[in-house]
Amino acid sequence: MAGNNRTFAQSRAADQEKLLALREARQAWTRAGDPVARLYRRASTTLSLERLLGIFSEELAHALPYGQMVYRHQLGYQEFVYTNGLGGSHRCDYQLTLEGVNYGAISFNRRLRFAEEELEAIEFLLSILICPLRNACQYAMVEQAALTDSLTEIPNKRALDLELARDCSLDDRHGDAYTLILCDLDHFKAVNDNFGHVIGDHILQATAKALREAIRDGDTIFRFGGEEFAIVLPHAETPAGKEVADRIRKAIHDIRIPCGEHQVRVTASAGVAAHRTGESPTQWLARADDALYRAKNAGRNCTQVAHVVTGNRQAHM
């Protein structure tokens, strides 16, 4: 019996020593100030792609001097670009892959040539980055899927709500100009009734494609719901918004979808509203929707501009 107690006590003491060693190792790891340990620790704290790349650039700067870091990756319909610092004439480039899957390209620029040991250090730190980077990219794709219309592959109403809130804030703080266009396909129910929902879906997809081709770089399109689309134009006031809306309507008018002996076509009506300082997203959207409603009442296939309330009067702007 005494032997069993002694064996148990020895085993217990050995377990305590292991726990103590593990605790000391964890504390040493937590206190370690080298870039490798810090990168390992910090990279596991976020799923934000932008935040992760910021952490990586900070820790790389502790290891070696560089001028600029640029990361690019196509995430679904959106190209993600992260840039930090100023460039130089010497550059090194890397394609970031894990298990045969590409997770973007990263480059480093500076005025002085990179030494061989510096390139080895960069590559070692990139090997630490790649797994957290994969997780962040996958998380970004999940987020994007939640904000994307599956039929047209453009942002959905939830994405529009986030965009309008952001743009209202930027306009109120910095005076940035934003204009919203609501565009609705005319008599679309009749298309579905007469030609079927498959043809209707083809028209919606063709409309999204026509919208992409009709807008500028930096403009954003959304499927607002059903046959209704929204377009947000940064750095644009009412006249530019009306011009874009008319161009969009023409692009939609030119769509032809074959259906047996027929060529199915549609027209569109549009309402345009420039954001006004202090206006909420709901108020902004309501003015654009009112302009669209007036376009429908005016016979469809036209553009109307939103009212702006000035005191007890209304004015077209």
pLDDT of residue 25: 54
Instruction: Tell me the HSE value of 310 on the side-chain side, using a 13 A CA sphere.
Output: 7
DSSP H helix total and E strand total for the chain: 9, 13
Report, as an integer, the average pLDDT of 86-101. 92
Tell the residue number behind the tokens 């206190």, with chain if given. 31
In this structure, the answer to whether residues 57 and 133 fall within a common structural domain is yes
How many domains does the chain contain in total? 2
In this structure, the answer to whether residues 242 and 297 fall within a common structural domain is yes
pLDDT of residue 38: 87
227 tagged catalytic: yes
pLDDT of residue 246: 96
The mean-pLDDT minimum among 45-54, 230-239, 304-313 falls in 304-313
In this structure, the answer to whether residues 102 and 245 fall within a common structural domain is no
Q: Rounded to an integer, what is the distance from CA 253 to the centroid of its chain? A: 30
Between CA 53 and CA 206 the distance in angstroms is: 37
In this structure, the answer to whether residues 210 and 88 fall within a common structural domain is no
8 Å CB contact between 272 and 181: yes
The DSSP bridge partners found for residue 95 are 105
Nearest to 53 by CA among 108, 90, 99: 108
Report, as an integer, the average pLDDT of 67-89. 89
In this structure, the answer to whether residues 303 and 197 fall within a common structural domain is yes
CATH number of the domain to which 41 belongs: 3.30.450.40
Report, as an integer, the average pLDDT of 266-275. 96
Is the predicted pLDDT of residue 314 greater than 90, yes or no? no
Digit-coded pLDDT (tens) for 204-254: 999 999 999 999 888 999 999 899 999 999 999 999 999 999 999 999 999
Residue 286's pLDDT band (boundaries 50, 70, 90)?
Answer: very high
Q: Residue 11: inside a domain, yes or no?
A: no
Which range marks the domain in which residue 55 is found? 32-146
Q: Residue 8: inside a domain, yes or no?
A: no
**pTM for this one?**
0.70
pLDDT of residue 317: 46
Question: Which of the residues 227, 228, 261, 279 is marked catalytic?
Answer: 227
**Tokens for 276?**
């006004």
Is the predicted pLDDT of residue 311 greater than 50, yes or no? no
Is the predicted pLDDT of residue 301 greater than 50, yes or no? yes
CA of 119: how far to CAs of 37, 53, 69, 96, 109, in Å?
Answer: 19, 18, 14, 15, 12
CATH number of the domain to which 240 belongs: 3.30.70.270
CA of 49: how far to CAs of 43, 56, 72, 79, 261, in Å?
Answer: 10, 11, 11, 13, 50
Q: Residue 200: inside a domain, yes or no?
A: yes
pLDDT of residue 289: 96
Is the predicted pLDDT of residue 30 greater than 60, yes or no? no
Is the predicted pLDDT of residue 174 greater than 90, yes or no? no
**Tokens for 219?**
């403009």
Q: Residue 1: inside a domain, yes or no?
A: no
